[in-house]
Structure 1
Amino acid sequence: MAWSLLVFHVVAGCSLRPYEFGESATEATSTGTMTTTTAAAMSTSVAATSHDEPTTGVASGSTSAASTDHGGSFTAGPDLGPSECDPWRKACPEGQKCMPYSGDGDHVWESWGCFDLVPDPAGVDEPCMVIDSGVSGKDSCDDGLMCWFVDWDTGMGTCLSMCTGSPEAPTCPEPMTSCTITAEATLILCLPHCDPLAQDCTGGDLCIPNPQDPNSFLCVLDASGEDGQVFDVCEHANGCDPGLVCHLPEFAVECDPSGLGCCLPFCDVSQPNTCPGQGQECLAWFDPGQAPPGYENVGLCGVPSP
C-alpha cells in the first residue's frame, strides 16, 4: 500500500480549507463542450490515507476543464511554521538538504529542516528509500529531490523534483511535470503529466486533471479504496477508480444530487458514444481549438445543458 496519497476534496461553493487555488468549475454547454463559464465554484484540499501513513495537511483548488493560470493565485505565502530552512532558497549547510518533515509526531508534514544527504544519493526518477519514517525528512534522494510514491511496506519510492523559483512563480526543472503545492505549502512537488484516456501512469496511479494548470493532467495515487465506481459519491478528485474523475453530480441523473461529487468516466470525443448514463454524451474537456497537443480527444461523460 502506498502512503503519499494526494487527495483532492471536491466541494461546491467556497473553499473549506485556507489554501486556495481560486479556480472555477466547469459546466456542459449545449454544444457539448466543457467550459469555465459557470458561476458555481469547486474547490479542493489535500490529505492522505491508509495505515499510519503521513497526511499532507490541506490545500485547495478546483477540478476544472481549464484551470486557472499556473503559478498564480494558488500559492500560500511564506508561513513555514517552526522551520529551520526556506525550501525556496534551500540554504542548508554543505552536505545537507532542506526537506519537509513532521516535527510533532502527528504524521503530517508541517515543518522544514536541514537533513544530511546520504552517500551517493539517487537522482530524479531513480528508486529511493525513506529513512526512519515517511515524514522524517530523511531519504536517499539528492538535494532538491524528495522520495515520493512510496510503498508503505517496503519504504521504496521514486525521487521527484521539488519545485523551484518562488511561491509566487513556482517552476519545475523537468519537462512534462507541474508544480503542485500542498499541505499548507509544506510539500512542493513536481508531479508527472499523463494521458487521462490512456491512464498511462505507473504503478496503478490515477491520471486526473491538474488543479493548477489548465493544460495538463497529473499522476496521483489512487485513493478510491473499495468505492470509486462509476456514479459513486466522491469527495476527492482521486477518490474514483482509474478512468473516472470526481466531478459535479449534475452531469449524470444516476448521481446522488446531494453528494459533493460523483465519479464520472473520461471518454474519447472521436469515438462513438459509450457513456453509461442516461442522456450522457461525450463532452469535450476543452473548448474548440483550445486543447493542448495530445489532449484534443479528451472528454467527460455528462448530460449536456439545455
Structure 2
Amino acid sequence: MMHKPARILTLLCAALLGGCSDPGAGVTAAPSTDDPSTSTDSTGSTTVAPTTGEPTTGTTTGTTTGTSTTSDDATTSVTDGEEAMCDVWQQDCPDGYKCMAYAPEGEPAFVGNKCTPVIQNPGKVGDPCIVEDGWWTGVDDCDYGLACWNINHDDNTGQCVALCSGTEDSYDCPGSADICVFWVPGIAHVCLQGCDPLLQDCPDAQGCLPDWASGGQQFVCLAEYSFEEGQEFDPCQFSNVCDPGLLCWGSDSALECDQDIGGCCLSFCDITDPQCTGEGAECVSFYEGREVPPAFADVGICVLPG
C-alpha cells in the first residue's frame, strides 16, 4: 500500500511573520494533506492540525488602508503613514516600513501582504523577537527583510529569520545552509535551516521535518511543540507536535497507533541500517512512489509493509 502522511499541518510558523506556536493554539497553515506534495501553510505558526506544509495558493484579499491599487494583487503605496498592500519580493514599502504577510484575526493562514513599521534597533537573524498581538498581524520587532518565526502563542515570542530574496523564479537565502520555503506562494517565503532527518541536526527545541511545499524533497528545522507528548505512537495532527526524529503519519501504518485517529507519531529510519520498534514494522523509503533526492536516499520511515 502507499504510505501517506496524516492530514496534518506542519506548522512552519508564521511564514512571513507568524511563527510556530503550540499545538492546539490554532495557527497557521501547515503542510500536508494526504498528498505530501501539496501543502498549505499559512503563517508559520504551529498548532494542532494546522497548515504548514502545504503552502496556500490563493491570493490575498487584504483589507488594508492603502491607496492606489494597481491590480488585483498589485501593490499600493502608503500614504499618510497608513499600511497598504505591497510586494513581498520587491519590498516596495516606504522608508521605515517592510512588506510582511498578514491575516485577519481568526483566519488560519496568511492571506496577503502589507507594509508594517520597522522599530528602532530591530532584531537581527537569530535574535529573539516578539509579534504584536499575534502572528497574524505582520507586525514584529525584526529588521528589514526579516520576520519573527517559530512563534510561541502563549507569549508571542519567536526568533528572527530571513525572508527569501530575489524573485519567484530566482530566489536565494543569506545563509548557505538555509532553504527558501514557500510557505504561502506569492505571500510568504522564509529562509529556514536545512537539515538531515536521520541526524536531527537542528537547534534545541526544533525538529528536522519535510518541507512539504517542495513535496518533501528538502528537510528544514521547525519548532517542535510536542511538550509532554509526541512520543512514538502518540496521536498527532501536525508534523511538529511529535518529538524530533518522529513524523506525524497515517495511524494505519502502525499497529500500536489508535486506529480511530488520523495521525500518529512514527519514527524516521535509515534504510541502510533499518531499526524499527513497532510490531511488524519495516523501514520503508520515505519517498515510496515518489522521486528520491540523492541526498536523502537513505531516509525511511517505520511503517507496516504494504
Question: Are the aligned partners of 1:46 and 1:56 in contact in 2 as well (CA < 8 Å)?
Answer: no
1:110–1:52 distance in 2 versus 1, CA, 3 Å: farther
- Count matched residues: 260
Q: Would the alpha carbon gap of residues 61 and 155 (structure 1) be closer, same or farther in structure 2, given more than 3 Å must change?
A: closer
C-alpha deviations, 1:56-76, integer Å up to 9, x for none? Answer: 433553476x7369xxx9552
Task: Indicate whether 1:79 and 2:49 are aligned.
Answer: no
Q: TM-score, normalised by structure 1?
A: 0.68
Aligned CA distance change for structure 1 residues 80 and 179 (closer, same or farther; 3 Å): farther
What is the Cα deviation at residue 92 of structure 1?
1.0
Q: CA shift at 1:150, angstroms?
A: 4.6
The answer to whether 1:129 aligns with 2:102 is no
Q: Secondary structure at 2:284's aligned position in 1?
A: strand
Deviations 1:184-203 (A, max 9, x none): 97643222221111111112
Q: Distance in 1 between matches of 2:108 and 2:282?
A: 43
Determine whether 1:218 maps to 2:189. no
Q: Give the superposition deviation at 1:206.
A: 1.3
Could you tell me whether the CA contact under 8 Å between 1:140 and 1:147 is conserved in 2?
Answer: yes
Structure 2 matches for 1:238-277, cutoff 5 A?
238-271=240-273, 273-277=274-278
Aligned equivalent of 1:196? 197
How far is the alpha carbon of 1:228 from its aligned partner? 1.6
Q: Are the aligned partners of 1:91 and 1:98 in contact in 2 as well (CA < 8 Å)?
A: yes
Amino acid at match of 1:57: T
Deviation at 1:177, TM superposition (A): 0.8
Write the mapping of 1:103-252 to structure 2, written as runs, cut at 5 A: 112-123=113-124, 125-130=125-130, 132-135=132-135, 136-150=137-151, 157-164=158-165, 171-174=171-174, 175=176, 176-182=178-184, 187-213=188-214, 214-252=216-254
Shift of 1:205: 0.8
Instruction: State the secondary structure of the residue aligned to 1:27.
Output: coil
* Aligned counterpart, 1:91: 92
19, 23, 29: which one aligns with 1:58: 29
The share of aligned pairs that are identical, in percent, is 31
Preserved contact between residue 6 and residue 248 of structure 2 (Cα < 8 Å):
no
Contact 1:280 1:301 in 2 (8 A): yes
**TM-score (structure 2 length as normaliser):** 0.68
Report the 3-state secondary structure (helix = DSSP H, G, I; strand = E; otherwise coil) of the residue aligned with 2:283: strand
Distance in 1 (alpha carbons) for counterparts of 2:141 and 2:303: 45
| 8 Å CA contact retained: 2:131, 2:157 | no
2:198 aligned partner, one-letter code: L
Inter-CA distance 255–103: structure 2 relative to 1 (3 Å threshold) = closer
CA distance change for structure 1 residues 196 and 91 in 2, over 3 Å: closer, same or farther?
same
Q: CA deviation at 1:171?
A: 3.8
Q: Secondary structure at the match of 2:248?
A: strand
Q: Distance in 1 between matches of 2:287 and 2:161?
A: 29
* Structure 1 unmatched ranges of 5 or more: 1-25, 29-39
CA distance in 1, matches of 2:24, 2:283: 40
